Amino acid sequence: MSKPDRVLVGISGGIAAYKLGWVISQLSQAGVEVRAILTDAAQAFISPLTVATLSRHPAYTDDHFWQADQGRPLHISLGEWAEVFLIAPLTAQTLAKLAYGLADNLLTNTVLASTCPVLVAPAMNTDMWQQPVVQRNWQMLLQDQRFHGVGPGQGRLACDRLGAGRMAEPDDLISYLHSLLHSGGKRDLEGRCLLISAGSTQEYLDPVRFIGNPSTGKMGVALALAAHHRGARVVLVHGPMEQGLVDRLAEIETHPVVSAAAMHQAMVEHLARANWIVMAAAVADVKPATLSATKLAKGAIPPNLALEPVADILLDLARRRQPQQKLIGFAAQTGEIVAPALEKLHRKGLDAIVANPVDQLETGFGRDTNQAVLICGDQQITISPCTKLEMAHRIFDYLVQKY
Ligand code: CTP
């Protein structure tokens, strides 16, 4: 069995500290080993006992600063132990200390005594966040490649203001941490632009009825997040998705569409910018031949609905692309998956195709997990069941060494 992943969590003193309980709990439940450091101010918002209970390990505070861990100073051994360091919420004070390399407590000393990637998630009042000095510190910190930042979102703050300053959502921190554990913090997609499609398309017969499919967009969103976490510029064209999934995309350029025709138009519009095009959307293959502007009465729906094919977007992109642009398709299959996917790869002139079964219980449409065979040239790489984020990384691991 492989060794569990190790995440060190540093909590500084802001009201969002209470959300770290959820983050730590989710990481522990996913089998990640967690150690945590709380600053003095953090303990006013979340107790060391809460953190210790959820992480299944004593939580560290400045009281432990000179506690030797098997004879070695704690900040050194914790720093060496960590594979990824999360600092959230990051207060203006701790941000300033990190930007200037100051070390006056256990948390900041451990940052300097470690070399792993650090994910930082600021949270503060809007005026504090928008202070030029805070913005300068933030930009300065992010110039250091070691630091990965998830900026604060807009929302209602604890001070009752509506504005920027709300800590990134716990789920966003968790997926970013999983990405960093996978990549080791490498930004190996930096300098590349990825145009990705996600979700289903809906082909309306009238304002309330459509032809569609059960794709939720989770795989395309996982691809977009994984690419973003590895430094790519991402343009995501997506069909209708649940709001919770759309909310995950705050840091990504998105273009929501409904129909295949609109997805086609958006993909063509953004094609020139892309180095890689990943068509993960489950495009409806047909649409009703007519679209009624008003809701049809039940009796007015023809028993034999006339259908028309929609354009094959991928085929069209293959004709339009420049030779250096790489085109990657998906093939959602039932039964045999490799042969039909290979046929699509050749017919559509693709560089790679991801064949994934949609008739398995645990994986596929709507699930958080997936499995696939990635086909590229004469190579076939089996990706066993894993989270969609992990699968996205496995696909990029292969593509990045190939192209
Ligand atoms: N695709 C597309 N436009 C369509 C249909 C599919 O761009 N109108 C893309 C999908 O996004 C996917 C790939 O083509 O990347 C394969 O899609 P799939 O539905 O598996 O194949 P089809 O070409 O539609 O063939 P069939 O339905 O006959 O299996």
Supply the residue whose CA is at minimum distance from atom 24 of ligand 1.
285
Ligand 1 centre to CA of 402 (Å) is 24
All structural domains of the chain with their residue ranges: 6-183, 193-402
CATH code assigned to 193-402: 3.40.50.10300
**pLDDT at position 396, please?**
98
**pLDDT at position 360, please?**
83
The rounded average pLDDT for each run of 10 residues, N- to C-terminus, in the chain (403 residues) is 91 97 97 98 98 97 88 93 98 98 98 98 96 98 97 90 93 98 98 98 97 96 98 98 96 98 98 98 96 96 95 97 97 92 96 92 82 94 96 98 94
> Phi/psi class of residue 69: alpha, beta or left (left: φ > 0; alpha: ψ in -120 to 50)?
beta
Q: Which residues does ligand 1 sit against, CB inside 6 Å?
A: 260, 279, 281, 283, 285, 310, 312-314, 329-332, 344
Is 193-402 in the same CATH topology as 6-183? Answer: yes
- Looking at the annotation, which residues are catalytic? 159
* SS3 of residue 31 by DSSP: coil
Other CB atoms within 10 Å distance of the CB of residue 27: 23
The CA–CA distances, whole Å, from 327 to 34, 202, 220, 279, 383 equal 39, 24, 15, 8, 20
Supply the residue whose CA is at minimum distance from atom 14 of ligand 1.
314
Nearest ligand 1 atom, CA 310: 8
**pLDDT at position 173, please?**
98
DSSP state of 74: H
Nearest to 356 by CA among 328, 379, 334, 378: 334
Contacts of 342 (CB under 8 A, 6+ apart): 353, 375
* SS3 of residue 90 by DSSP: strand
Q: What pTM, to 2 d.p., does this model score?
A: 0.96
Dist. CA 395–CA 202, nearest whole Å = 27
Ligand 1 centre to CA of 239 (Å) is 15
The third-level CATH classification (topology) of the domain covering 6-183 is Rossmann fold (3.40.50)
**pLDDT at position 1, please?**
65
